[in-house]
Amino acid sequence: MIAVIGTGYWGRNLVRNMHRLSALSLICDKNEQTLAALGQQYPGVETCLAISDVLARDDIKGVVIATPAETHAVLAREAIAAGKHVFVEKPLALRAEEARELAQLAKDAGVALMVGHLLQYHPLFVRLKEAVLGGELGRVDYIYSNRLNLGKIRREENILWSFAPHDISMILTLAGGEPDRVIATGGNYLHAAIADVTVTHLDFPSGLKAHVFVSWLHPFKEQKLVVVGERKMAVFDDTRPWADKLLFYPHEIRWENNVPVPAKAEPERVDVPEAEPLALECAHFLDCVAGKTAPRTDGREGLAVLRVLNASQRSLDLGGQPVALGTEQAPADAPFVHATAVVDKGAEIAPGVKVWHFSHVLSGSKVGARTNIGQNVVVGPDVTIGKGCKIQNNVSVYKGVTLEDDVFCGPSMVFTNVMNPRAHINRRNEFRPTLVRQGASMGANSTIVCGHVVGRYAFVGAGSVVTRDVPDHALVVGNPARLIGWMCACGARLGEDLVCADCGKTYRETDQGLTETASSNADTRSTIP
């Protein structure tokens, strides 16, 4: 009845709980060894490599998506289109408009869309929510949360996106709405472009203040939510034994001769039966699939959290400048140029472009939307770069080079633009054009000798030297680079049958390389952990 897609660290926990609830029918992952191990661990549960196989099954009523965050939106969209109820791990998407679209699609399709904000299902948080919304604490003045640890350091996302969604979800629930502005600051200590520590301040229209402190560079583990009300204070500390996880403090502030004097009281414990939050969350999703209830953390709740995350990230990128909700998406789409980077007059930078530390975009160059230019990169002059490209650190894209959409340039790879350079001879009139077609990838330290074409979705191996045209979908390695195989558009290497085991696309050979066949039945997923 339920399929789990993605079996990384957290995906395995979801597999375990769905199996305990006797609801797990299918596990999908791109790693054959992982699937073999899980098949032995859970006899009777089917496995598959392609998401298209999951979505084609009429007996699969709901899917659980536990893949990398950048894949959530596209996979959820496909699952909804296939008529499946969907449980997406946090975050729902990376962009607010994607989350808004998913919520509407689920509503139109009549299927449940649930976001994995786990702590909303913790019995003790449920009790805290009842206390706050029921007025037991009186007027709530401020809330703060600390989610700190040493380790579990990620490179695919920063600490804000990795740790903060759960806390933001809880705070928005207790506040009864969204903040009107956000201020976020942080520090990058292990990687220049990835925040390891952030502090996010939330200002609510009611006057309520909140902050979220997250770090994976902390000497000890702390997972604490503190709510300060006029009648009581509450501490939800998920690292403590069950009986001490939620404590209410009926402290009072008495005024004596116009001086506030605190009157401390003993903490009050709550009598709530112990239960595993993830098991309750999974059971709730099954109830949603069965039509018994609506998701507690639905698409609208996921969108609200995402709006705060987007605004926080925008503030972080701007060095801690306040960002008003309602304006977070438009500014976020504006080009970002780091303070150490230079964009010359006459260069065109499209919305969503990011230009990082010590990079230089010269006059006459055009950079397409959402392209990411890493550190110490030179572009131009008069270079055209398409949309959605990723140019890693220490790359120079010289005049004569054109990159189409979605091109990947690995760290320190090299483009040349003349065949016989001499320092004492000006050869600007001898530049030879280089064209890199849509979706091609060039590995770290590879070299593309000028005057050639790198075909669509081709893959140039790390350290290779390209001295001739590279066909579409070709995998080339060595010096000089030679053809050793073929690559799918999703990035998986194709077998002799030219059928992608990851996404199901099929190909045939042409004079230009490979082309996708009209009968291809593939999903658009790029990776599953």
Domain 334-516 classified CATH 2.160.10.10?
Answer: yes
> Tokens at residue 524, please?
């658009």
Could you tell me which residues are beta bridge partners of residue 142? 209, 228
| pLDDT band per the 50, 70, 90 thresholds, residue 526 | very low
Cα 66 to Cα 116: distance, rounded to the nearest angstrom: 9
At 118, is the secondary structure helix, strand, or coil?
helix
Whole-angstrom distance, CA of residue 442 vs CA of residue 459 = 6
Residue 260's pLDDT band, with cuts at 50, 70 and 90, is confident
CA 94 to each of CA 69, 73, 320, 505: distance values in angstroms, whole numbers, following the listed order: 7, 8, 20, 26
Collapsing DSSP states into helix, strand and coil, what is residue 29?
Answer: coil
Under DSSP, the state recorded for 306 is H
Q: How confident is the model at residue 288 (pLDDT cuts 50, 70, 90)?
A: very high
The DSSP symbol for 470 reads: B
Q: What is the dihedral of CA 13, 19, 24, 25, to 10 degrees?
A: 120
213 bridge partner residues: 146, 199
Residue pair 197/130 in contact by the 8 Å Cβ criterion: no
Strand 252-256 with 259-263, pairing: antiparallel
Q: What is the mean pLDDT of the chain?
A: 90
Q: Which of the two residues, 502 and 425, has the higher pLDDT score?
A: 425
User: For the residues 444-448, what does the mean pLDDT come to?
Assistant: 96
The CA distance from 35 to 31, in Å, is 6
Lowest mean pLDDT segment, chosen from 118-122, 377-381, 523-527: 523-527
What the block records as the tokens of 84 is 């499946």
In angstroms, rounded to a whole number, what is the distance separating the alpha carbons of residues 529 and 522?
18
Tell me the residue type at 390. K
Element of type H or E holding 72: helix 72-81
Q: Over pLDDT 90: what percentage of the chain?
A: 69
Q: How far apart are the first and last CA of the chain?
A: 22
The residue with tokens 């679209």 is 101
CATH 3.30.360.10 fits 122-274+307-324, yes or no: yes
Half-sphere exposure of 33 (CA within 13 A, CB side): 2
Q: Name the residue with tokens 């705060």.
A: 308
Q: Where are the domains of the chain?
A: 2-120+278-295, 122-274+307-324, 334-516
489-507 average pLDDT score? 89
Distance of CA 506 to the CA centre of its chain: 28
Amino acid at 114: M
Mean pLDDT of 312-336: 78
Helix (H, G, I), strand (E, B) or coil at 28: strand
- CA 320, 325, 327, 331 torsion: positive or negative? positive
What does CATH list as the number for 2-120+278-295?
3.40.50.720
Span 212-255, pLDDT tens digits = 999 999 999 999 999 999 999 999 999 999 999 999 999 888 88
Domains 2-120+278-295 and 122-274+307-324 share a fold: no
For residue 361, what are the β-bridge partners? Answer: 343, 379
